[in-house]
Chain A
Amino acid sequence: MKNARPTRGGFFQRDRTWHPPAFAPGYRSTVVRSPQRAPLSFGNTLSEITGPVFGHSMLGELDNDLILNYAKPGESAIGPRIVVYGQVLDENARPVPNVLLEFWQANAGGRYRHKKDGYLAPLDPNFGGCGRTITDEDGHYSFRTVMPGAYPWPNGINDWRPAHIHFAVFGHGFVQRLITQMYFEGDPMIAKCPIVRTIPDERAIQSLIAALDMEATIPMDARAYKFDIVLRGRRSTLFENKLEGN
């Protein structure tokens, strides 16, 4: 037996008091889209423990550069240039290597490249708004983009989203799948946002706010924000029933 505790069991139960509840009427869209009955729980089977794996070879050279990945040759997206970097960890504080991160955002004016977005702020012809990367052996990732703008949205009569970047993260198991949003340190709009406020615990909100890191800037190019992401942790297999069966 190896010294390190094996990590091939089921995942820790999700703390549903930490995540936003399904029904959160301050965010009006949840009212008709929130399940109302108690969910069904059972111990993880291989269907939950396994998940798709993506190789670094699927990535294009500019996948993690939103300033250039939609821009015409020789041009680039408009807006404050930033690098977002961090580490994907699990609840055991272990790095999660080789997992796909996908991100999307509005442009510097707060406008999405989407036919349903009718905000006055103009599209940037050189900004698409999507990117992706895969964590390295130590769970680290980074990408370059422009700072997204805040934007108004139909909820209350005067609700605005703080500047944010949407993240979709794969873990190693399908039930680690997580979508969240990254906010920016110091933004006074965070505390006013009905979507942020669906999260009941102040500490959980704080963990979604990226820190400005002046030591990680690219001099004369881009400032840096650090955003770590934590996925569900995994149990040791030591005392669990055999999965193979039969």
Chain B
Amino acid sequence: MKGQTLTRLKESASQTAGPYVHIGLTPNFCGITGVYPEDLGIRMVNEKTKGERITVKLRLIDGTGSVTKDALIEIWQADADGLYNSPDEPRGKADPNFTGWGRQPSDPETGVFTFETVKPGRVPFMDGRMQAPHISLWIAARGINIGLQSRLYFGDEEQANAEDPVLSRLEHPSRAATLIAQRDGNTYSLDIHLQGEKETVFFDV
């Protein structure tokens, strides 16, 4: 006998962004000018943004050890006080001069993605414990069938990283290093490895 049915839908299946993702998401970068005034997400801060200015430099490395040149990365982070610029942020109003969201193609020569942003404050885990400062990552490219989710943590936040509820869920704590950007001056750098010995911890969240 058949009972009641749920009226849920299935999420639309993902498909790769393909080799021409920049036409759609950063058209000015790939020479399609005059359609949008500027590429969305290329500026996260302005002169009034509160907090410590930092530069985040990422590279995306494939299973052969080559630095990819055709990918796109989006980042999402809290402001300097740990608040998200989103209507679903229940704890207060985020810095109106900080978008929290950035999107970049990589440099065509070096493969480096560069984000000018601020260091985020801490955000609670579900149970109220504080997470270490982090930036959420979303990666799309040819050969990636569904956008990859991960995070960037900060190498100079040793104490906070040690008590972070997400990092502490890792089966092999040594893999936390794949998420931790190292600081040099005001720049944090992280290589994201798609495969291999140093494969980055990706998320299913």
Chain A residues at the B interface, C-beta cutoff of 8 Å: 8, 13-16, 18-22, 24, 27, 29-37, 39-54, 58, 60, 62-63, 69-70, 89-93, 102-104, 112-117, 128-132, 166, 168, 172-175, 177-181, 195-196, 198-199, 201, 203-205, 207-208, 229-233, 240-246
Residue from the list B11, B24, B34 in contact with A14, Cβ < 8 A? B11
Task: Flag B1-31 by CB within 8 Å of A: 1 or 0 each.
Answer: 0000001111111111111111111010011
A127 to B55, CA, bound (A): 36
**Contact indicator B195/A208 (Cβ below 8 Å):** no
Tell me the dominant secondary structure on chain B's binding face.
loop
**Contact indicator A166/B17 (Cβ below 8 Å):** yes
Residue from the list B89, B195, B203 in contact with A32, Cβ < 8 A? B195
Chain A residues contacting B112 (CB-CB under 8 Å) are none
A42 to B167, CA, bound (A): 10
Chain A residues contacting B200 (CB-CB under 8 Å) are 35
**Contact indicator B142/A29 (Cβ below 8 Å):** yes
Residue from the list A70, A173, A204 in contact with B34, Cβ < 8 A? A70
**Contact indicator B145/A41 (Cβ below 8 Å):** no
**Contact indicator A112/B23 (Cβ below 8 Å):** yes
A146 to B90, CA, bound (A): 43
A134 to B77, CA, bound (A): 22
A238 to B112, CA, bound (A): 43
Binds A, one of B80-88, B155-163, B180-188: B80-88
A130 to B194, CA, bound (A): 28
State the Cβ distance, A136 to closest chain B Cβ, in Å: 17
Known: A60-B36, A102-B25. A20 touches B78 (CB 8 A): no
Known: A70-B34, A207-B12. A47 touches B99 (CB 8 A): no
B48 at interface (Cβ–Cβ under 8 A)? no
